[in-house]
């Protein structure tokens, strides 16, 4: 089995400790891993290094020339929460150990107790715990069938999008965020005619098409059943939202999805705008829902809230 190479960043300003850590990690490749080693001496250079490179784990001394104590951990973990951090310190302090874990550290190792075997084991388990933590978080916030964000994550991202829109408009601009609700008009027929497994396959194949219809900054979520919701940021007028809505409709059948049967997929889309229609998020979604049901009675299947 080939060895796995782990990208490791050591944030330590003591030359003697740097040398010892390097010697420990240059030993036998426990767990079948070797290390691609980088080292910096301050919090600022650690932030720069993490911004410009990919690291699998960080070994962090809390006391650095430009930062000290738990603030060092809070700053680095806040900026790079996806990278597991192991606190490496000369203090044998049980309370600090607990506080470090509460602030996001995966583990805590004192320098006087550190050995090659202990350090490599701690690194390996920290990476595995972080990976499992990320998997569990993904399962809690994403729809299991389509892999799209679920209702909870949709609401979270909508809150972020509206706050960003308000901040952008402080200079007198008129940026908007749009919510689009969509359901498939003939999805029940697919389930009744071809079975629920075919319906599930249609939804599974539809998800990447809907995602591809959007910009990277936008969101598509599955709210449940055959209902989807979209968040568009950086919208100036109805034409911007209409362009995206038409792309979404076009994506349903180009190319056709075999499991949907011989008839093309049809959908109705309703659109509301923040802050023009309302600044209340529940009302914003309700207005998009009302527009979606109005769209079912119009040939183009797209309707804006307030549109007659």
What is the rounded distance in angstroms from the CA atom of residue 273 to the CA atom of residue 278? Answer: 7
pLDDT tens, residue by residue, 65-84: 999 889 999 999 999 999 99
Tell me 258's DSSP state: G
Is 257 found in the same domain as 174? yes
Using the Cα atoms of residue 160, residue 161, residue 162 and residue 167 in order, give the sign of their dihedral: positive
- Of the residues 112, 141, 170, which one is the last residue of a structural domain? 141
> pTM above 0.75?
no
> Phi/psi zone of residue 225: left (φ > 0), alpha (ψ -120 to 50 degrees), beta?
left
Q: How far does Cα 207 stand from its chain's mean position?
A: 16
pLDDT tens, residue by residue, 211-253: 999 999 999 999 999 999 999 999 999 999 999 999 999 999 9
CATH of the domain at 194: 3.30.70.270
| Residue 62 within any structural domain of the chain | yes
Residue 43 CB-density burial (10 A; 0-12 exposed, 13-18 middle, 19+ buried) = buried
Q: Which H or E run includes 28?
A: none
Is 213 found in the same domain as 286? yes
| Residue 269 within any structural domain of the chain | yes
Nearest by Cα to 83 from 149, 9, 137: 9
Is 297 found in the same domain as 166? yes
Cβ pair 132, 147 in contact under 8 A: no
Is 300 found in the same domain as 173? yes
| Residue 214 within any structural domain of the chain | yes
User: Given a cut of 90, is residue 268 above it in pLDDT?
Assistant: yes
| Residue 146 within any structural domain of the chain | no
CATH of the domain at 14: 3.40.50.2300
Beta bridge partners of 6: 35
Q: What integer is the mean pLDDT of 274-285?
A: 96
Cβ pair 64, 87 in contact under 8 A: no
| Residue 121 within any structural domain of the chain | yes
pLDDT tens, residue by residue, 70-128: 999 999 999 999 999 999 887 777 788 888 888 889 998 888 888 888 898 899 999 99
- Of the residues 141, 171, 188, which one is the last residue of a structural domain? 141
Is 155 found in the same domain as 109? no
Q: Which domain holds residue 160?
A: 151-304
| Residue 221 within any structural domain of the chain | yes
| Residue 211 within any structural domain of the chain | yes
φ/ψ of 267, rounded to 5, equals -145, 160
Percent of the chain with pLDDT over 70: 96
What is the rounded distance in angstroms from the CA atom of residue 226 to the CA atom of residue 184? Answer: 6
**CA distances (Å), 164 to each of 74, 211, 217, in order?**
24, 21, 12
Is 39 found in the same domain as 179? no
Is 171 found in the same domain as 88? no
Is 300 found in the same domain as 156? yes
- Of the residues 106, 141, 176, which one is the last residue of a structural domain? 141
Is 256 found in the same domain as 187? yes
Is 161 found in the same domain as 108? no
Q: For the chain, how are helix, strand and coil distributed in percent, rounded to 5?
A: 50, 20, 30
Is 290 found in the same domain as 155? yes
| Residue 67 within any structural domain of the chain | yes
User: Given a cut of 60, is residue 1 above it in pLDDT?
Assistant: no
Give the catalytic positions in this structure: 226
Answer with the residue of higher pLDDT: 308 or 289.
Answer: 289
What is the count of structural domains for the chain? 2
Is 167 found in the same domain as 131? no
């Amino acid at each position: 089995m080939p060895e796995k190479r782990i990208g490791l960043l050591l944030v330590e300003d003591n030359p003697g400790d740097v040398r010892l850590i390097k010697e420990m990690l240059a030993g036998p490749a426990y767990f079948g891993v070797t290390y691609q080693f980088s080292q910096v001496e301050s919090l600022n250079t650690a932030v720069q290094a993490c911004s410009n490179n990919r690291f699998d784990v960080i070994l962090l001394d809390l006391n650095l020339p430009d930062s000290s104590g738990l603030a060092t951990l809070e700053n680095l973990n806040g900026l790079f929460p996806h990278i597991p951090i192991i606190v490496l310190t000369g203090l044998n302090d049980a309370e600090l150990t607990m506080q470090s874990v509460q602030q996001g550290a995966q583990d805590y190792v004192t320098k006087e107790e550190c050995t090659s075997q202990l350090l490599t084991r701690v690194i390996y388990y920290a990476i595995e715990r972080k990976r499992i933590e990320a998997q569990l978080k993904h399962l809690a916030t994403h729809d299991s069938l389509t892999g799209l964000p679920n209702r909870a994550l949709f609401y979270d991202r909508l809150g972020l999008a509206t706050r960003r829109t308000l901040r952008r408009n402080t200079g007198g601009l008129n940026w908007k965020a749009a919510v689009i609700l969509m359901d498939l008009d003939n999805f029940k027929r697919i389930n009744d005619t071809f079975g629920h497994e075919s319906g599930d396959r249609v939804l599974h194949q539809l998800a990447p098409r809907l995602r591809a219809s959007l910009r990277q900054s936008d969101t598509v979520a599955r709210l449940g059943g055959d209902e989807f919701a979209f968040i568009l940021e950086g919208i100036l007028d109805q034409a911007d939202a209409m362009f995206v809505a038409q792309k979404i409709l076009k994506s349903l059948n180009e190319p056709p999805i075999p499991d949907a049967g011989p008839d093309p997929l049809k959908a109705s889309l309703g659109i509301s705008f923040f802050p023009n229609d309302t600044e209340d998020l529940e009302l914003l979604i309700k207005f998009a829902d009302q527009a979606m049901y109005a769209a079912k009675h119009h040939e183009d299947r797209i309707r804006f809230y307030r549109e007659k």
